Amino acid sequence: MISRKELANAIRILTIDAIYNAQSGHPGAPMGMADIAEVLWRDYLNHNPNNPKWINRDRFVLSNGHASMLIYSILHLTGYNLSIKDLKLFRTINSKTPGHPEIEKNIGIETTTGPLGQGLANGIGFAISEKILSNKFNKKNFNIIDHYTYIFVGDGCMMEGISHEVCSLAGKLKLNKLIVFYDDNGISIDGQTKNYFIEDITQRFKAYKWNVISNIDGHDAKKIKKSIKEAKKESEKPSLIICKTIIGYGSPNKSGTNKIHGSPLNKEEILLTRKKLKWKYEPFFIPQIIYKLWNAKKEGKNKENKWNKKFKSYKKIYPNLYQELKRRIKGNLPVNWKKNMKNIFIDLQKNKKNISTRKASQNIIKNINKILPEYLGGSADLSESNLTTSSNTKDINTNNNGNYIYYGVREFGMTAIANGISIYGGFIPSTATFLTFFDYAKNAVRMAALMNIRQILIYTHDSIGVGEDGPTHQPVEQIANIRSIPNINLWRPCDQIETFFAWKYAIENKNSPTALILSRQNTIYQKRNKNTLNKIKRGGYIIKDNSTENKPQLIIIATGSEVQLAIKAYDKLISYGYKIRIISMPSTNIFDKQNKEYKESILPSKIKKRIAIEASYSDYWFKYIGLDGIIIGMKTFGKSGKNEDLFKNFGFTINNIIKKAKLIL
């Protein structure tokens, strides 16, 4: 008779063997949480190793991602496409088992974790998605979307500020299908957490309006099981199960200490641990009886087949809802998407308005809410300033089929939650704040780019044009910061037409986040011919040019609100007889991806006389103008004053552009 402890020990042994083999890793948490994982995965988790993408599977997130061998061991034991060979390749290049879990739904990894607290936020995004989708698609006797989200967290996740942001919001949203297990082992890298982490977690989470189940022995299967049963009975609140565990459980000399947190056990300690756990087998060997008891393929197949039968019946009774859910799960845009966007574009061309690009964005959002049911907006307490709401906005707090989340002042938490919503599927999320507060959200933005997921990042008040709010709110360095992140596309449109193209790109781009950098101040509607309009999507294009044979005397590149300054300067310069080209470059990232021929047609390499204009950090632009060019940009922080006075003070004027042009010519 195989005991539950022996089944949990399989996780512990695979963990220490793989980490020793790699000579790198974190054995402490997987060894400490193995008993909790065994109960959860074998008794409660609804999943199917044959189809890791089954939409109604329970979601499992390992927020304390350094404990990666825990999830790798479980996935191997339960029958996912993760072999012993893959475990032996732990932490080696191009393996399925990197040092921290990286999103790969085909093998059961739901999200990339490692930066502590963000997996918790992603999981809350999963739970929000489940709640909204179930409200939309479930009908009497047809709970098509009906699953739990389970999250493992450690002390580090609890200490990170993001945990406060997202757990507070989760309580407000009454995410009762969210169950979080806290590995309360009292140890982190620097030693005993009581030396620097003393808050009462039970009272903290009760204040968030969570259901808290405290003081559970994390090594007692019966008590763990009882706590999960209790959590699943909760109908109003998310649940936190606080499990008292021993880090590195099973290691005679290192368990309960920080010495087992992030270092492999040596040979002697591994032998002693095997002896204490009564494990008699060679490294990486698991007896067939243990594999049989862990394997979830047959049970998972039966669970999904049962759901498929229900979904088939649902199709007959609710064919439209069935097709809509299938479309959204697949990530396809609505059938009439292109036609509807074309109509929106035609209307924009008729209404030649001189408005801020944040206002242009709001007008587009209003239309998108009509034609894109999966669009889910949100802002960090700046909805009225970001202009992210419209008459078609419905708050998810008050509307079961809502399309907007009021995140409160939680930029980091908001962005990481939206990452989870994007990963879950069925939604296209956007988040919004002032560009200067990108810093608060940065690591979650980086994770979105790393995971190749679609999130639309709306950042308004894009420059010194913020004016009287002063340098604390003037994001002079942030555009360059965002552009430097791999796999992110940034658009800074100059008017409502470019704003439309930016939005269209952001929604159609499935494989990376898109940042929309929008102005507070009004911009001038620019006239374009059909050929010019078709080139906006290429990131950079010629908006004005009086030269012939691709031989301008001077090229001026500008973005956003500075394009109108460049064009006004152009009108004067050509009156003096100069041959001038103005390039609007709303997206340097997209322009850089164009072929050599196109880039050469826009920026001929033989034309060395160039000026770049952007009310942002200037050094970025040397890549386009060379060392001989001139940049009209920011080298310092801004000042407090009227935006027109600030632009004049820092040289963003027509006269200064003409002066620099004459100097270089």
pTM above 0.95?
yes
Q: What is the pLDDT of residue 401?
A: 84
Q: Is 333 annotated as a binding residue?
A: no
Q: Residue 471 burial (CB < 10 Å; 0-12/13-18/19+)?
A: middle
- As a whole number of angstroms, the distance between CA 455 and CA 509 comes to 9
Phi and psi angles of residue 446, each rounded to the nearest 5 degrees, phi first: -60, -40
When pLDDT is averaged across residues 414-437 and rounded to a whole number, the result is: 98
Domain 4-301 has CATH 3.40.50.300: no
pLDDT of residue 150: 99
CATH 3.40.50.970 residue ranges of the chain are 4-301, 336-517
Chain segment 78-136, per-residue pLDDT in tens:
999 999 999 999 999 999 999 999 999 999 999 999 999 999 999 999 999 999 999 99
- The percent of residues above 90 in pLDDT, for the chain, comes to 97
What would the mean pLDDT of 271-287 be, rounded to a whole number? Answer: 98
Whole-number pLDDT of residue 235? 96
Tell me if 185 is assigned to a ligand binding site: yes
483 labeled binding residue: no
Q: b/e per residue, 104-126, with b = 16+ CB within 10 A?
A: beebbbbbbbbbbbbbbbbbbbb
Residues in Cβ contact with 10 at an 8 Å cutoff, skipping those fewer than 6 apart? 73, 77, 286, 290, 294
Catalytic residue among 160, 269, 411, 498: 411
Q: Averaged over 650-662, what is the pLDDT?
A: 97
CA atoms within 13 A on the CB side of 81: 12
Q: Which CATH number applies to 336-517?
A: 3.40.50.970
- Alpha-carbon distance 254 to 396, whole Å? 48
- Tell me whether residue 219 is annotated as binding: no
State the Cα–Cα distance between residues 409 and 106, nearest whole angstrom.
35
Residues in CB range of 510: below 8 A, 6 or more apart: 331, 454
**Interval 468-520: pLDDT, tens:** 999 999 999 999 999 999 999 999 999 999 999 999 999 999 999 999 999 99
Q: At what angle do helices 28-39 and 221-233 cross, to 10 degrees?
A: 60
Sequence length of the chain is 665
Residue 139's DSSP bridge partners are 142
Dist. CA 310–CA 325, nearest whole Å: 14
**Annotated binding residue 461:** yes
Q: What percent of the chain has pLDDT over 70?
A: 100
Q: 164 among the known binding-site residues?
A: no
Count Cβ neighbours within 10 Å for each residue of 24-56 and write b for 16 or more, e otherwise.
ebbbbbbbbbbbbbbbbbbebbbbbbeebebbb
Q: Could you read off the pLDDT of 588-604 as tens digits, one per residue?
A: 999 999 999 999 999 99
Is 469 flagged in the annotation as binding? yes
Q: What is the reported pLDDT for 467?
A: 83
Lowest mean pLDDT among 212-216, 220-224, 452-456, 545-549: 545-549
Closest CA to 376 of 326, 329, 338, 422: 422
Q: How far is CA 216 from CA 37, 167, 184, 255, in A?
A: 14, 20, 10, 19
Asked whether residue 95 is marked as a ligand-binding residue, the answer is no
Annotated binding residue at 261? yes
Sign of CA dihedral 565, 567, 571, 576: positive
Q: Using an 8 Å Cβ cutoff, are 131 and 173 in contact?
A: yes
Output the pLDDT for position 494: 98
Q: What is the pLDDT of residue 398?
A: 85
- Mean per-residue pLDDT, 444-465: 97
Q: Is 47 annotated as a binding residue?
A: no
Section 17-27 average pLDDT: 98
Does the annotation mark 411 as catalytic? Answer: yes
627: pLDDT confidence band, cut at 50, 70 and 90? confident
| Nearest alpha-carbon partner for 449 in 516, 517, 515, 513 | 513
* pLDDT, tens only, 147-200: 999 999 999 999 999 999 999 999 999 999 999 999 999 999 999 999 999 999
Res 399: pLDDT = 81
pLDDT confidence bin for 217, thresholds 50/70/90: very high
The Cα 91–Cα 618 span in angstroms is 40
Distance separating alpha carbons of residues 476 and 496, to the nearest angstrom: 23
Is 577 annotated in some ligand binding site? no
Whether the pLDDT of residue 400 is over 80: the answer is no
Per-residue model confidence (pLDDT) at position 113: 98
Under a CB-based contact definition with an 8 Å cutoff, are residues 172 and 413 in contact? no
pLDDT of residue 557: 98
Considering the segment(s) 539-664 as one domain, its CATH architecture is 3-Layer(aba) Sandwich (3.40)
Does 32 carry a binding-site annotation? Answer: no
Q: By C-alpha distance, which of 358, 363, 367, 342 is closest to 560?
A: 358
Strand order in the sheet with 404-406: 404-406, 375-379, 428-434, 456-460, 514-517, 489-491
Task: Tell me if 419 sits within 8 A of 451, measured CB to CB.
Answer: yes
Average pLDDT, the chain: 97
Q: What's the confidence (pLDDT) of residue 657?
A: 98
pLDDT at 427: 98
Q: How many CB atoms lie within 10 A of CB 215?
A: 11
Q: How far apart are CA 57 and CA 272, in angstroms?
A: 39
* Ranges for all domains in the chain classified under CATH 3.40.50.920: 539-664
CA dihedral 342, 344, 347, 349 (to 10 degrees): -60
pLDDT tens digits along 598-624: 999 999 999 999 999 999 999 999 999
Burial class from Cβ neighbours inside 10 Å (0-12, 13-18, 19+) for residue 486 reads exposed
Element (H, E) at 360: helix 357-371
